[in-house]
Structure formats: structure tokens, C-alpha cells
Structure 1
Amino acid sequence: MSTDLLLVLALLLGCVGLFIWGRPRMDVVALLVIAALPLTGVLNMQEALAGFSDPNVILIAALFVVGEGLVRTGVSYRLGDWLLKRAGNSETRLLVLLMLSVAALGSVMSSTGVVAIFIPVVLGISVRLGVQPGRLMMPLAFAGLISGMLTLVATPPNLLVDSALRREGHAGLGFFSFTPLGAIILALGIGYMLLARRWLAKTGVKNAARSGPGMGTRRRMRDFVSAYELAGREHRLRLRTDSPLVGVKLRELTLRRDYQANVVAIERRGRFSDEVLPPNAGIELRAGDVLLIDLASEAAGTTGREGRADVLCAEKGLEALPLPEGYFSDQSRAIGMAEVLLPPGSRLVGKSVLGVGFRRKHGLNVIGRRRDREPVVGGSTELLEERLRVGDTLLVIGPWKAIRQLQPQIEDFVVLTLPAEVDEVAPALSREPYALLSLGLMIVLMVTGIVPNVVAALAACFVMGAFRCIDLAAAYRAIHWQSLVLIAGMIPFAMALERTGGVDLAVNGLLGIAGNAAPRVLLGGLFGLTMVTGLFISNTATAVLMAPIAVSLAERMGLSPLPFAMTVALAASTAFITPVSSPVNMLVLGPGQYRFTDFVKTGLPFALLVMLLCVVLIPLLFPL
């Protein structure tokens, strides 16, 4: 083993260790790889940066934009509405249609985004049918993972495996190369979940009751107030003419610091009718304005909430007004509420609500938080200054437009639940036909091969932009830059392993273990190695490392590399075993109220079934 290979392997093990540890972020680790590889002397700087010029990096970025266009024009939400209508009152029909819908949509856009979109839909249907969310959330996640096995563009590992084949001079994969086998796996997954749903974690009567006031109805704003134990915190206070707050801008107020009071909205008498204003920092208060105040629970040893309200009124020249029952529903055209889940990778994790300037950035107030399904009750310190964790659910209040603007930001937020009042204010999205036209154009161009895949995806982006399905700012926000940097950073790693003999070492190891066994045994070993590797590092990094090994193994055996490459791609998507194997699993962990062992006992048997199915069918569909 050469010194160069030892250096590269040490660097690889260091990266794997950092991936498992989770610090620093994966994209930062990839950048460290780019900086370190030229120092080993194995690659020069131009070769270390070659990943950024790979067409698949641009293709994946374009696919993020196409997916965002489908979200912004309502295509994905329309599919959820269709699912709700077709499911009726049958849980079985719901499960089948849910998995088919998620797999179909996930075959042309990010599976993480699709699952994030469907979580609120599934929660709403669960309440209506009286079904525990845990019976549906894992089928949702499994369908998202299986969607990566349906088309070439469904997930980055497929594109990276295709790139590895073409780089070695072999024929690449077609748009529908994965579809026959993926469709069989999807059918197997649906059948398996129809049986396995009875094993899944049950929420229990207590937690089910928390999901709404009576099963079969959608939650309304008043139900959020009850679930987060906010009753008694809301106050309507009018500025008298002698109030010292008259003429003061909202940013200059110290109500939060002095009274643990947040201004949620401002009622102001207009020329023709009253209007409700969001609490923008630049608003100057006027006499007669009515402040809707959220008065947080008192800290231990301080004046009670009602006492602080009286002190606030006395010191600031305010007059308490009654808060009618159903106030929030009455004001729902201006004031919205939503439950927001923090997914893995959210930039809010490890920071406080105040620390990230949540109200300033998003125009929304955080008035409640739940952790481990329990509401966090306390003063503003507990609510706004405590560091947030993955899986925390925030209750936000503010303009519906601001809430809608959170929905595309699925890397930071999953808008978990919208109240029933949203139906009265949801805007009509008129660009849906053009988004579908763009998607159809991309698929036709990719299937026919008239232009390279990256050109087809860029053409779809341009068409969406021309028809105003998405603007430039939203397009840049839609791209998951962390994933792109990770891919670009790991591609030269594969090059370094090939140049130093690391790939040959892995191939010799597999051949040494398998000996003269049948090719299917080699496929099974390759599948198992890829699947196990994917338990510790991302499926994208797994595919980058394993694809060259698969191609080299096939060439050494004198066999077609296509079935070996397909094995790696499918194994990289077989991330059913643990909740940390994929962001998709992490998203449903909280809403489904699962434990770690729920994924193991449900996912491991299915992963083994998928492995057996692939070992049997891949040589039949792609001859060795």
C-alpha cells in the first residue's frame, strides 16, 4: 500500500468520522477535502475543483428550481387535495394513494421536499379519519425513498452513478432505466406497509386527543391556543391619547424586555373600515391603535400575568378591551397561525428565536413551542432565548403572506399544520398549467435524448421563469447549496481513490471474500456494503465512493458494468433502517411520534426484501 493511498484513506476515514459526528456540516467537510487533496500531491488544484464543472452539479441545481416551481404554482398541493378527495374514509385506500402520489411526485423533484409538503396533508387526513399519524407517516417516508428508484433524475445518487459509467466510456442510463424495477419495489412497499402499519408506533388516546378537539374536524386557531396552553395570554390594549407610546415606532418599544409582552398585531381604524397591521418594526403607533399583546407566562417569583397586564396599562397609558371568543377566527383574513417544525439541517437549530431575529426576518411572532410533544410553558426567556433543537415545533402568528413564504424554505422549516381558517384566505395560483408544461417539456427532452439532460432541465427552468412560475430570487433560494457543495467536494475524492489504487483495493477485497461465487453473490455483497455505508454517511457521498468500485468490479470480472452500477444506485436509496439514514426519515420522526426502534423493526425487514429483490431481478432486466 503506497504512501499516497494511506494519505487518501486517512482523509476518507476522517471525513466519514466527521459525517457521523455531524460537525462541521457536510458541505464544510467537502470544502476541507478540496483544500486538503492538493496538499497530498495526489491531485492538483484544478483536479480538486473539477467537481464544480461536472454537468450533474448543474443538473441537480436545475432540478431543485423545477421542484420549487411545482410548489409555488400549487401543483404539489393540488395533488394533496386530490388525495384527500379520493381517499374518502378508507385508511387502506389512503395509504395506497398516498404512496403512489408521493412516489410519482418524488420521481421528478426532491423526495425531501415532497415529504415535507405531504406531512401537513397526512396530519389533516389523520384527524379527519381518526387514524393515528404513526400509521401513515412511515409509509409516507418509505414512498419518498422509493421515489428515488423510479427515474434517473429522482435522486442525486442515480445521476452520479450515470456519470461514473459515462466517465469510464460506457453507455449511460436512460430516464426510465430505473422505472421497471422501481415500480416493482413500490408495489412491494405498498403491500408491505399494508401489513406493517399495525406494527407501527401508536400515539395513544392522550396524544391523539391533542391533535384536535374531536376527531374528524380540522383544527382551528382556538385549538392551537388550547394545545399550546396559551389561554389567558392574549390581551387587547388600546392607546389612550395621553399614552407615552403615541408617536413611538415599534422597534423602539421595550415591552418584551420590561413586561415579557409581544405585539402580535395592531388594529387601526382606517378611512372606510378597521384594518389589522402586522407588527413591522417601522410602524409608528397612533392614539386609538389597539395592540394585540401576547403576555408570556410569568417567571418564578415575579408579578402574575394579570398583575403585569394592569401594570402595563397603568404605566403606558393603555386601556384594556375585551377579547371576544373566536377573535382569531374573526380576524383570520389578516392574522394567520401555523405550526412549524424544525427539520434536520435547519439553520435555526442551536440558536434562539431572538438570536436569529425571527420576527425581523420573517414578519412572524413565535408565541408557543412544543418539545417532545409537550408545550413549553414559561416566560419569554424559555420561549425566545432558549436554544432550539431538531424536532421542535413552533407556533407562529402573523400575516398569511409571511406564513406562505415559509413553506418553500423546507431546508429550515416544515409548515406542519395550517388551521381551517386558511381555506378562507388561500390565494388562487394561476400559473399551474405553465409549470406542468415546463415539467412535461423537460421529461420529453430527457426521454428522447435530443439534448443533454442538463440542457433539458435548464430549458424547463427558463420556461418556468418566462411564465412567472418562479422568479430569480426564489430560484436561488430553492437550490440546496449544501448538497451541491457536498457532491462537488466528493467527486475528486473518487478520482483520488482511483489514482492511488484505493478502488482496486476495494475490488480485490470483494473478490477475495466472494472468491469464485456467482455474480449474484457479488451483487448482493455490493448492495449490502453500499447500504451499510449509507447508514453512516449521506447517500450522495455513498454513491460517489461506491460507483467507481462497482464499475471496476464489473470490468475485472469481464461483466457488464450496468447491473453493478444499478445495484449501487438502488442500494444508496435503501435508507429505511434508521431515522438518521435519510432526511426523509428525520422529517416524519416527530409527526409520527416514532422511536428509533420503530424504524429498525419496520425498515430492516423491508431493506432485506429490497436487497433480495434487486439481486434476483437486476441480472434479468440488465443482463450481465
Structure 2
Amino acid sequence: MTPAMIMTMIVLVFVICLFVFEWVRVDVVGIMMMVLLPLIGLVTPKEAFVGLSSNAVCSIIAVIIIGAGLDKTGVMNKVARPILALAGKSENRVILLIAGTVGLISSMMQNIGAAALFLPVTQRISKRLGIPTSRILMPMAFCAIIGGTITLVGASPTILLNDLMVLGGQKLEPFGLFTQTPIGVCLLLTALVYFIIFGKLILPESTGKFGKGASEMLIREYQGVNNIVELHVPEGTGRGGILDDLNIRPKFLVTVIGISSPSARTTNHVPHSHEEIASNDDIAVVGKKENIDQLAKEYGWVIKDSLETFAESLANTNSGMAETVVSPRSELIGKTLNEVDFKELFALNPLVLFKDNKKFYSGLTNIKLAMGDTLLLQGPWEKFHILKNRPQPRALIFASPLEGEILRPTKAILAVTWLAIALIQIIFFKVQLSVALMSGALGMIITGVLTIDEAYSSVDWMTVFLLAGLIPLGIAFEKTGTAAFIAQAVLQLVGHPSPIVLLGVIGIMTSFFTLVISNVGATVLLVPLCMNMAVMAGGDPRMAALVVGLSASNTFVLPTHQVNALVMRPGGYKTLDYAKAGVIMTVLFLVVELTVIYFFYGIG
């Protein structure tokens, strides 16, 4: 080994230690590589920063912006609905549907694109069902990576195979689009079964970047609003009448926040006191459980097991609670909520008034407001954002974090159009991935799907710098000859094994290299070496090349693959979380891959 090779190996061990022990954040590790490698002469200064302009990193930036545009226009809400309908509240069914869908999609498009597009969907579903994001994102990421093995065009390494299969100056018989499909399908099914059976043991319980929202914190603080329940008014036995006459709030300290009338075909999420409740209506209320039980018993209403009619509108992704304070120059000072017709003015439901160190759950609409009074409000997030963006002087100042956002459903067609334009360039015109995706992202910005500030803020820059910093480390491995040295040493060490044992060694070696250098770099390096070794061992060089191409996707132990890096922060993962789930997945990948090849591809 040369001094440069030894130094490269030392840097690799140093990086692995930083990942494992987490002395610094992973993106800082990437920045350290961009500085350290040129200082010790393993790469040039230009090579040290080439990762920031690489096809992979630019593609990630673009596809995240595209995903944010689809989310901002409500397209991802529509994608989430059928998944929620099929999955119910089952964590396993959610994992199967999301991870399986992403795996199949990534068989025909780049896995990072499939994962990034489904990232906002997964986060919404996770929040809606109360399932920690960390329980869903890692299975989705692993299946996105594995999905690329289903077809020849699913991942960059297999796309390159036919061009690399040259032996003795002669091109070998090329692989077809679906040559590897039996292997890829078995790998994807194995991953899904793995997470369904062992998910609760290997997946972390952390909730990730989004965690519990402000509404949950407010519910804990205001004990009188700790339940949102849907009730039904049975025909004949249920009491109806004008909301004000029913005295629901004064008598039970329960607030009605929604009335749905099938007969009138109307649903009101900000009901006024003069509105009527009739037979067969569905009602959404907020209050203590025992108070709601008493209300239902006395009026003959039926408590539903879960939200049905209001499931979508009252989902925590669409509505919630916020704490507001009457501002010094507020138009509300000296007036009651009834006098200003608060519900008509702001389209929000007042739940609690905190005044003079007392909490008023009843009669609050008739109390004159003063500067500094606190109102707990409930309603759609969009209405809260409209209130927050009102021109000065603002009537209310927000005292709690504001969730949700103002969606732009009128731009949904534009968002889908720009996604389609990007995909058409990739599939039919063979435009480079980063250029095609960036054109889609730019189109969304120019046509107002996203503002430029929203586009910048949507990008997870930790992911960008992590990957950009690892690319020069891969360059150092190849440039110093370290990768070739290790590969040749391993192949010489195994001698002349049987063809299937040789393929196992090739799979293990490729899996290791893809953790430290790019999967494309590992493929370009190993395909010629492994094909020659297969010929010497009396094996099939095409199968050796195929194992290299497939095993280049076997990269789960560290967050070095771009898909794993993408979900790291949203899932709240640590490096050890990847190692915990990834080691077993790596072994399963190799076992299934070699087993299918042994029985279905005539390798003995």
C-alpha cells in the first residue's frame, strides 16, 4: 500500500467513528471532508467541492422543491387519502402501502425522486394517525433503494451494466429491461416482511423532526378541551333544537365546533348560536370526556368511536388549536366576542378565555375583552394563517406556534404539469436527471406554485452537505487506488471458489464499497474486475456483473446513500439506527439475491 492509500483508510476509519459516536452532526462530517481531504493532498481543492454541483446533490435539491410544490398545492393530500382509507389506523398496513408503493415507483424512476415525492405524504399520514414518523420513513427509504433493483432502468448502477460488460474486447449479451425483475421483486417483498415482523424491534420510537404539534401541548394545558368527539343525533330519540336553546356550553362546558346536516347537505365548521341541530345530524364537539358522555346521555345522542364525517376537516394536518393574545391596539378591546361577531369575522371557534388568572369555558362570548386577555381558538390552519397575515394593527397576537399553511389548490394542475414535464425529459429525451428535475422546480417557482423563499426553505441543507462532503471521499478512494487495491486483494484471497461462492464474495465486496464510494463508482470499478475473476473461476461473467449492479443498492448500514440521507432528519434518525436496521437488511439482501440467482438463473 502507498502512503496515500494508508492515509485514505485512516480518513475512512475517522469518518466511520464520527458517524457512530456522533461527536459532531453528520453534515458537519461532510464539511470536514471538504476541508480535510484537500489539506492532506488526497484530492484537489476543485475535487473537494465538486459534490456541491454533482448530479446527485442537485437532483436532490430539485426533487425536494418539486415535492414541496406538490404538497403546497394539496396534491399530496389527495395521494394520502386512498392510503389512509386502505390502511385505517394500522401501522403495519401504512408501512406496507407506503413502502411498497414507493418501491414499485422507484423501479421505473430514480429512487431519490420517488422517496422525495412521498416524503411529505408520509409525514402527513404519520401526523394524522399519530404514528411516529421514524416508524415509517426508514422502511420507505429502504424500499425505495431496493425498488431500483426491479428493472434495469431503476438505478444508475444497473443502467450502466450493458455498457460495462466488455470482455476481451467483445461486448457480452446485454441484459433486458426485466432480466433482474424476479430478484428485485423478491428483495422488495423480503424488505416489507422484514419491517412488518421486526419493525417494532428495530425502528426507533422517536417522532422525528415534526414531533407533537402545538395543539397537543395546548390540549394538555387546557384540560377542558382534551377530547374532540363526533356525535350522531338519532332520528326520533335524539333531542334537536336551536344551538343556543340547547345550552350545551353553559350546561356541559362542551363547545360545538361542527354541524353536518345530511338533509340540507351542508357542513358548518364554525356554527353560530342561532343554528339548528336536527335529526340525523352529525356534530363535532370539544370538551372533557365525562362532560361529553353526560351530554350524549341526556340528549340521546350517540358517541361515535372515531371521527367519521369530520375525519378529514378535523385531522390535525388540516385544523387545530392556537393560543392568541389581545394586542395593545386591538379592535376587540372593550367589546365582547358577540358584539364583533367574532365567528363571522375570523371563521374560528373560541374555546377558552383566560382573563384575570381565570379560565372561562362558558359565557366567554359575553365578557368584555381587555389588552392581554388570552383566547384559545380552534379552526382550520388556513384561517389562522389569514388572521396572522392581517395588516397592522393586528387584533390578536399568536402566543403558540402556528402549524399548517395556506394551500394553493388553484395551482395544483401547474404543479402536476411541471412534474410531468420533468419526468418526460428524463424518460423520453434522456435529459440528465439534475437538469430535468431542476427545470421542473424552476417552472414551479416561475408560475407561482412556490415562492423562491419557500423553495429555499423546503430544502434540507443538512442532507445536501452530508452527501456533498462524502463525494470527495469517494474520489479519494478511487484516485489513490485504494478501492482497486482492496478489490484485487479480496479476489486474490478467495482463490478459485465455486461460482456461487464467488458471487457471494462479489456481493459482499460491492456492498462494502457502496458505503464509502458512490454506487456508480463501485460499479465502474468492480464490474471489469469481477467479470475476469468469474471467467478464471469457470463462472458466468454476466452474472458477476449483475451481482455487482444489484449489490450496489445494498447500502443500508450508514446514512451515506442519498435516500437514507434524505430521511435522516425528518425521521429523527441517528447513525446507530441505520446500523441497527441495516445490518440485518444487508444480510437478507445478499441471501435473497444469491438464492434467487442460484435457483432461477442456473448458477451452481
1:341 aligns with none
Q: In structure 1, how many angstroms separate the alpha carbons of the residues matched to 2:177 and 2:442?
A: 21
How many Å apart are 1:618 and its aligned residue?
6.7
Letter in structure 2 aligned against 1:121: I
Equivalence map 1:231-380=2 (5 Å) = 231=223, 264-266=324-326, 268-270=330-332, 273=340, 319=356, 322-324=359-361, 331-333=377-379, 365=399
User: Cα–Cα, structure 1 residues 101 and 570, in superposed 2: closer, same or farther, change >3 Å?
Assistant: same
- Could you tell me how far apart the structure 1 residues matched to 2:565 and 2:415 are? 28
Q: Which residue of 1 aligns with 2:113?
A: 109
Give the counterpart letter for 1:266 in structure 2.
V
Assess if the C-alpha contact under 8 Å between 2:30 and 2:465 holds in 1.
yes
8 Å Cα contact 1:153-1:159 kept in structure 2: no
Cα 1:606/1:2, change in 2 over 3 Å: closer
Q: How does 1:172-187 map to 2 (within 5 A)?
A: 181-187=183-189
Quote the Cα distance in structure 2 between the aligned partners of 1:198 and 1:489.
Answer: 33
- The equivalent residue for 1:431 is 411
SS of 1:430's partner is: helix
Asked if 1:82 corresponds to 2:82, the answer is yes
Letter aligned with residue 496 of structure 2: N
Name the counterpart of 1:143: 140
Counterpart contact for 2:556–2:578, Cα < 8 Å:
no
- Is the contact made by 1:487 and 1:540 (CA closer than 8 Å) also made in structure 2? no
Q: For residues 469 and 454 of structure 2, what CA distance do their matches in structure 1 show? A: 25
Secondary structure of the corresponding residue to residue 5 of structure 1: helix
Q: Deviations over 1:396-449 (max 9, x none)?
A: x344xxx225xxxxxxxxxxxxxxxxxxxx756232222222222222221224
Preserved CA contact (<8 Å) 2:161 2:545: no
Name structure 2 gaps, 5 residues minimum: 206-210, 227-321, 344-351, 365-373, 385-396, 536-540
Partner of 1:506 in structure 2? 486
CA distance in 1, matches of 2:423, 2:155: 16
Helix, strand or coil: the match of 2:448? coil
Are the aligned partners of 1:122 and 1:137 in contact in 2 as well (CA < 8 Å)? no
Displacement of 1:556 in angstroms is 4.8
Q: Identify if the C-alpha distance between structure 1 residues 490 and 551 changes in structure 2 by more than 3 Å, giving closer, same or farther.
A: farther
Contact 1:31-1:485 at 8 Å conserved across structures: yes
Match of 2:29 in 1: 29
Kept in 2, the 8 Å contact 1:77–1:117? The answer is yes
Q: Deviations over 1:347-389 (max 9, x none)?
A: xxxxxxxxxxxxxxxx965xxxxxxxxxxxxxxxxxxxxxxxx
The amino acid that maps onto 1:27 is: D
Superposed CA offset, 1:202-228 (max 9, x none): 99xxxxxxx99xxxxxx995x75454x
Change (3 A) 1:518 1:53: farther
User: Do the aligned partners of residues 197 and 54 (structure 1) sit closer, same or farther apart at CA in structure 2, a change above 3 Å counting?
Assistant: closer
Per the TM alignment, residue 230 of structure 1 is displaced from its structure 2 partner at its CA by 5.3
Report how far residue 511 of structure 1 moved.
Answer: 0.9
Unaligned runs of 5+ in 1: 127-132, 204-210, 213-218, 235-261, 277-290, 294-317, 339-362, 366-396, 406-425
Q: Out of 583, 588, 593, which is 1:609 matched to?
A: 588
Letter in 1 for 2:325: A
Are residues 548 and 197 of structure 1, via their aligned partners in 2, closer, same or farther at CA, if it must alter by over 3 Å?
A: closer
**Aligned equivalents of 2:461, 2:577: Cα separation in 1:** 32
| Alpha-carbon separation, structure 1, partners of 2:53 and 2:161 | 15
Distance 1:606 1:120 in 2: 27
Tell me, yes or no, if the aligned pair for 2:48 and 2:472 is still in contact at 8 Å.
Answer: yes
- 3-state SS in 2 of match to 1:149: helix
* Distance change (3 Å), C-alpha of 1:184 and 1:15: same
Please tell me the residue identity of whatever aligns with 1:553.
L
CA distance in structure 1 between the partners assigned to 2:50 and 2:68 by the alignment: 27
Deviations 1:31-78 (CA, angstroms, capped at 9, x unpaired): 333333334444433343443443333223222222222222222232
Corresponding residue for 2:471? 491
Distance in 1, Cα, partners of 2:72 & 2:572? 26
TM-score by length of 1: 0.55
Q: Distance in 1 between matches of 2:191 and 2:568?
A: 15
Checking the alignment, whether the CA contact within 8 Å between 1:76 and 1:105 is kept in structure 2 is: no
Provide the secondary structure at the position in 2 that maps to 1:571.
coil
- In the other structure, the counterpart of 2:11 is 11
The match for 1:315 is: none
Residue in structure 1 matched with residue 2 of structure 2 by the alignment = 2
Asked if 1:570 is matched to 2:553, the reply is yes
- CA-to-aligned-CA distance 1:434-484 (integer Å, 9 cap, x gap): 222222222222122442222221222233223322222222223333333
Looking at structure 2, the residues matched to 325 and 492 of structure 1 have their Cα atoms a distance apart, in angstroms, of 64
- One of 512, 519, 526 as aligned partner of 1:550: 526
Contact 2:323–2:375 (Cα < 8 Å) also in 1? no
Which of residues 430, 439, 450 in structure 2 aligns to 1:459?
439
Query: 3-state SS of the aligned residue for 1:333?
Result: strand
* Equivalent in 493, 507, 525 of residue 505 of structure 2: 525
CA–CA distance in structure 2, aligned partners of residues 120 and 153 of structure 1: 28
Counterpart of 2:553 in 1: which secondary structure? Answer: helix
Q: TM-score, with normalisation over the residues of structure 2?
A: 0.57
Question: Given that residues 61 and 464 in structure 2 are in contact (C-alpha distance below 8 angstroms), is that contact kept between their aligned partners in structure 1?
Answer: yes
Q: What is the CA distance between 1:323 and its match in structure 2?
A: 2.0
Change (3 A) 1:94 1:523: same
2:113 is paired with a residue whose SS is coil
Greater CA drift, 264-273 or 45-54 = 264-273
| Alpha-carbon displacement from aligned partner over 1:248-295 (angstroms, at most 9, x marks no partner) | xxxxxxxxxxxxxx984327445983669xxxxxxxxxxxxxx976xx
Q: 1:431 to 1:455 in 2, by over 3 A?
A: same
Name the SS of the counterpart of 2:326 in structure 1: strand
Pick closer, same or farther for the CA change 1:337–1:473 going to 2, 3 Å.
Answer: closer
Q: How far apart, CA to CA, are the structure 2 residues paired with 1:45 and 1:167?
A: 30
Aligned equivalents of 2:558, 2:13: Cα separation in 1? 21
Task: Please tell me the residue identity of whatever aligns with 2:138.
Answer: A
Separation (CA, whole Å) in 2 of partners of 1:159 and 1:119: 27
Q: Which residue number in structure 1 is paired with residue 257 of structure 2? A: none
Q: CA deviation at 1:151?
A: 4.3
Aligned residues: 445
TM-aligned CA deviation for residue 612 of structure 1: 1.9
Using the aligned pairs only, state the percent identity.
Answer: 18
1:55 paired residue number: 55
* Aligned-partner Cα distance in 1 for 2:134–2:487: 39
> Residue type matched to 2:550 in 1?
T
> For the Cα contact (< 8 Å) 1:73–1:429, is it kept in 2?
yes
Residues 465 and 471, structure 1, Cα contact 8 Å, conserved in 2: yes
- CA 495–599 in structure 1, closer or farther in 2 if over 3 Å, else same: closer
Instruction: Provide the secondary structure at the position in 1 that maps to 2:404.
Output: helix
Cα-to-partner distance string for 1:146-204 (whole Å, 9 max, x where unaligned): 012334999xx95589789989999999999987754443333344555557978999x
Secondary structure of the residue aligned to 2:379 is coil
3-state SS of 1:491 partner: helix
Deviation at 1:571, TM superposition (A): 0.4
Shift of 1:584: 4.6
Report SS of the residue matched to 2:483.
Answer: helix
Cα pair distance change 1:554/1:69, threshold 3 Å: farther
Secondary structure in structure 2 of the residue aligned to 1:331: strand
Shifted more, 166-175 versus 522-531: the winner is 166-175
